[in-house]
Chains A and B, each alone.
Chain A
Amino acid sequence: GAVVSQHPSRVICKSGTSVKIECRSLDFQATTMFWYRQFPKQSLMLMATSNEGSKATYEQGVEKDKFLINHASLTLSTLTVTSAHPEDSSFYICSARDGRGTYNSPLHFGNGTRLTVT
């Protein structure tokens, strides 16, 4: 079945540094990927929609310059947290829709990345 691979699963970085998280669709092409953020014991909040070959669409309140998204190919989207601060510590999850399917095809989720900023 379709698989979405997210890497790394855990990362610890120092305040002020940047961290890149990758989201890959392993056996399908994903024209659209979604990046979610989940705080402890909270729901998933959509940060941005990543579109292959075009700019990402950010949700209200999400800083574009802080959370850089690049969807350079049909199988890879990256989220870069720039100048990370402790308040950026969270669980980040990506999801992707199989572009071969219809608009109604289900989303596939990655395993998530636990980011800790010290």
Chain B
Amino acid sequence: AQTVTQSQPEMSVQEAETVTLSCTYDTSESDYYLFWYKQPPSRQMILVIRQEAYKQQNATENRFSVNFQKAAKSFSLKISDSQLGDAAMYFCAYRSDRTGGSEKLVFGKGTKLTVNP
């Protein structure tokens, strides 16, 4: 079974600074997707960024980028120019890409990000 580990229960960053959230995962599969979701106090799950495992290039979405290290099974999220609105719980998630495989997302325990003004 796949597992996702987020070793940082809480992180804080100064507004306009950069912060990196860590995520490691364990799988025996070669094809899969990785995601970072944001959950603000409203509890709405918002997709931040996604990475296909077959792609070597790291995904980027505006101020959000990932460092995907497939061999190390590491998938960290970097938030640049942090804004107050970035404050939320961030969840790393894994999904199999096997045909007929489960579509379910396996989530890490989350990292609570605080942005200080």
Contact = CB atoms under 8 A, between A and B. Distances in A.
A111 B99 CA distance: 29
Contact-residue bracket for chain B: 20 to 34
B108 A106 contact: no
Contacts of B106: 46
B91 A44 contact: yes
B104 interface: yes
A14 to B, nearest CB: 24
Interface size on A, as a range, is: 10 to 19
A104 to B, nearest CB: 7
B15 interface: no
Interface string B85-117: 000000100000101001111111110000000
Given A104-B33, A104-B97, A46 B44 contact: no
Contacts of A109: 44-45
B52 to A, nearest CB: 8
Q: Which of A32, A97, A104 counts the most chain B CB atoms within 10 A?
A: A104
A43 B45 contact: no
Interface residues of chain A: helix, strand, loop or mixed (majority)? strand
Contacts of B91: 43-44
Contacts of A44: 45, 91, 105, 107
Interface in B35-73: 42-45, 47, 50, 52
Nearest to A91: B43
B40 to A, nearest CB: 11
A111 B109 contact: no
- Consensus secondary structure, chain B interface: loop
A43 B108 contact: yes
Contacts of B102: 49
Contacts of A42: 109-110
B109 A46 contact: no
Contact of B45 (A46, A95, A97, A104): A95
A111 B103 contact: no
Given A32-B103, A111-B42, A43 B47 contact: no
Contact of B103 (A43, A45, A49, A91): A49
Contacts of A74: none
Interface string A40-55: 0011111001000000
